[in-house]
Structure 1
Amino acid sequence: MRPARFQDFSLDLVKNSPGVTRVQSLGEAGDTTHPFGLAITTTAGEVRWQIIGQLATGEKHDDQDTPVNGDPVPAEGGEPDPSDHEGWLYAALVRAESPEIASIARWSTREDAGKSRGLTLDFHNSARVFIRQL
């Protein structure tokens, strides 16, 4: 899934999540620096996320963005704290049970996490999306 399609998928997904008061693309929110991303406003405030993509192995930009389905990421229990923006977005994406998403990794749980917050999504077609909190 490429960034443009992932942005549309995420906008639709997140706007229906509990506690969300507004969702926009970064462009709609006035950000002209990042071509793809989300501005999500919840009860805990607004957070902006940049979306960056990596093509599937052997794929070229001229190729079609063809979905490859497999087993979705296993769902986890419990609702995350809305102030844990990374955890909240992670949970929303897991709950979607998209058959295109093979795995989702939270940056804050990495050994070398530092202050970076974001997610890496691996898709069944070997493409990747990186979502970085701005």
Structure 2
Amino acid sequence: MHPAAFQDYAVDLLKNTPDVQRVQSLNEAGDTKHPYGLAVTVAGREVRWQLIGQLAEGAKHEPPTAAVQGSPAPFEAAPVTAAPDAWLAGVIGAAESPEIATLDVWSTREGGDGQHGVTITWHNGEKTFVRKL
């Protein structure tokens, strides 16, 4: 899924999530440095996420890669007090999108470098990297 489409999907998903007071695109939040991203106010604090896409191997930007459905990604729900990327992956996973194959939470990686983010691998081979700013 291209970052623009995922941004729209994530805004709709997050605005209906408990503890989220506000969600908007980074552009709407005044960030013109990052073309795609989210500004999410959850449990009284704002967290900003940059969205970066990676095409499937051999794919071109036009036409977009067709969506492929399969089993929803396994996930672990995390409370809003957990690491921000674990919480976000839990929210995305709980939606049980048949287009998402896997969710990789960066902060839980063994030997992690302290970065927070989520790599979403789609069944069509594309990836979306959601990096905490």
Calculate the TM-score normalised by the size of structure 2. 0.94
Task: For 1:122 and 1:52, locate their aligned partners in 2 and report how far apart those are by CA, in whole Å.
Answer: 12
Matches within 5 A, 1:27-42: 27-42=27-42
Residue 88 of structure 1 and its aligned partner are, at CA, apart by 1.2
Question: 1:27-67: per-residue Cα shift (whole Å, max 9, x none)?
Answer: 00000000000000011400000000000122101112421
Aligned residue identity for 1:89: L
Q: Which runs of 4+ in 1 moved over 2 A?
A: 81-84
State the match for 2:102 in structure 1: 103
- What secondary structure does 2:67 align onto? coil
CA distance in structure 2 between the aligned counterparts of 1:57 and 1:29, rounded to whole angstroms: 33
What is the CA-CA distance between 1:114 and the residue it aligns to? 1.6
Q: Distance in 2 between matches of 1:43 and 1:17?
A: 11
Alignment partners' CA distance in 2, 1:11 and 1:65? 22
Structure 2 match to 1:120: 119
Structure 2 portions without partners, runs of 5+: none
CA distance in 1, matches of 2:78, 2:115: 22
Percent identity between matched residues is: 51
Say how many residue pairs are matched: 133
How many angstroms does 1:86 deviate by? 1.2
Q: TM-score, length-normalised on structure 1?
A: 0.93
Kindly state the Cα deviation for residue 110 of structure 1 after the two structures are TM-superposed: 1.3
Give the 3 Å change call, closer, same or farther, for CA 81–64 of structure 1 in structure 2: closer
1:75-115 C-alpha deviation (Å, 9 max, x unpaired): 54x54133531111011000010000000000011123122
